Structure 1
Amino acid sequence: MQTSFRTAFALACALCASAPGAQERGTGFGAAVQLAQSIGSEGLSNGLGLPNSLVLTLEPERFFAESDFGRRVAEDLQARSAVLTAENRRIEAELRAEEKDLADRRAFTEPQAFRALAQAFDEKVQNTRTTQNQKFREISGLEDKARVEFREISRPVLEQIMREVGAAVILERGSVLLSASSIDVTDLAIARINAMFGEGSRQSPQSGSGLEQNAGE
């Protein structure tokens, strides 16, 4: 389970080499050795099954998507999208029927009167399209709001993990050239956030967003 010094050294070199001005300062190699030692020579004394390391990694997308909170958000958005899709289909059928009725009336309606009816129908179609597009944008914006909320409530969780492990930074795993799997805290962070907040609040698709409230409200 303990990270090898070779792996830790490779990670440290990648991190230090990417630091701005590292080559000019001539500190890249020395910092890499120091960081590698802090990662590679640690014990598992924190009780988390993780090495005591200055550097940890996290997969943000999986952290959100596989948490109870993220799963609930996905379910809510799917339910709202299904409601909107059904509503759009119903409105489309009603407009098609109204359009057919208008076409049938054209033969026995004065041209001026028919133009007024046709114009009113076109305005109704445009207003309906605007309203339904706005509903779609609102649903799309709910995920962004939920992700902002998730970042806020997960920050103390990640900070606590850092304190327990003695870490100075948590890096996004996808942006790191090379890292050891033993310093990835995604699974631990998911377990912690689930234990503290669960899925958050849930509301029906017809009610408020249900994505901005914390558990217990």
Structure 2
Amino acid sequence: MTKKLHVVRTMMVAGMLSFAMAGLDSAVAAPPPPTQGAAPTARILLVDLRRVMGGSKVGQDIQKQVAALKADATKQLNGEGLELQKEKTQLEQQAAILAPDVKARRIKDFDSKAQAFQKKLQERGALIQGGVMKAQQQIEQALGPILQGIMQERGATILLDRSAVLLAPNAIDVTDVAIQRLDMRMPAVKVELTAPPAGAQPPPQQQ
């Protein structure tokens, strides 16, 4: 009787241990409960800054002013350029009959005049370039709050320049909205002849 009772107790203990181990295994193997509040998907907006600069009223106004400034520079410097061209033609025609020392002196004088004229052209171009850069900085200052407002309205987390994006199928383009609001806030800006900062790169060509 005692031996049978001992066997039964042994089987019961073994069963309890087996059940406990099975529960422990399942607890270890069970996946963690899902986390609450998963991170929201990023909402991306695109804006074509090149088109904003070229297609807005203020951008087109800048282009007209630049064309006028270039035409004015051409008018002012055209006479000097024609005189240089005339002198060059005469020098070429007389080169065969001029004494070597006279020819060398006249060529040197002409080269000095041509270099001085070229410097004038470059300086005027730099002043126009500096004016465009200053005007574009003013546009950027006005455009910043506009883009921030659009982001808040659309609940966007990211705003990218379209030229820097290779593929973004779910992104929303807000270029037209940006242009409309920029037209209302800044339809024009004065382009003034301004020396560009040292080492400044020329502004991109507007389309």
TM-score grouping bracket, smaller chain normalisation: 0.5 to 0.7
Aligned-partner Cα distance in 1 for 2:96–2:49 = 63
Relative distance call for 1:101 and 1:172 in structure 2 (3 A) is closer
Aligned-partner Cα distance in 2 for 1:88–1:199 = 28
Per-residue deviation at 1:178?
Answer: 2.4
**Secondary structure of 1:145 counterpart:** helix
Equivalences for residues 15-30 of structure 1 within 5 A: none
User: Higher relative CO (CA 8 A, sep ≥ 6), structure 1 or 2?
Assistant: 2
Highest Rg: 1 or 2?
2
Q: Does 1:124 align with 2:113?
A: yes
Equivalences for residues 193-208 of structure 1 within 5 A: 193-201=182-190, 208=193
Per-residue deviation at 1:112?
Answer: 5.9
Equivalences for residues 102-181 of structure 1 within 5 A: 116=105, 118-174=107-163, 175-180=165-170
Please say if residues 56 and 185 of structure 1, whose CA atoms lie closer than 8 Å, have aligned partners that are also in contact: yes
Please say if residues 72 and 202 of structure 1, whose CA atoms lie closer than 8 Å, have aligned partners that are also in contact: no
Cα deviation 1:154-208 (Å, max 9, x = unaligned): 1011112222222222122340512357x221111111111111112366xxxx4
Q: Which residues of structure 1 form unaligned runs of 5+?
A: 1-29, 37-53, 210-217
Residue of structure 1 equivalent to 2:61: 72
Relative distance call for 1:197 and 1:109 in structure 2 (3 A) is same
Kindly, what percent of the aligned residue pairs are identical? 26
The root-mean-square deviation of aligned C-alpha atoms, in Å, is: 3.2
**Secondary structure of 1:35 counterpart:** coil
**Secondary structure of 1:179 counterpart:** coil
Calculate the TM-score normalised by the size of structure 2: 0.59
Aligned-partner Cα distance in 1 for 2:78–2:183 = 37
Aligned residues: 156
Relative distance call for 1:106 and 1:153 in structure 2 (3 A) is same
Equivalences for residues 24-43 of structure 1 within 5 A: 34-35=40-41
Please say if residues 63 and 190 of structure 1, whose CA atoms lie closer than 8 Å, have aligned partners that are also in contact: yes
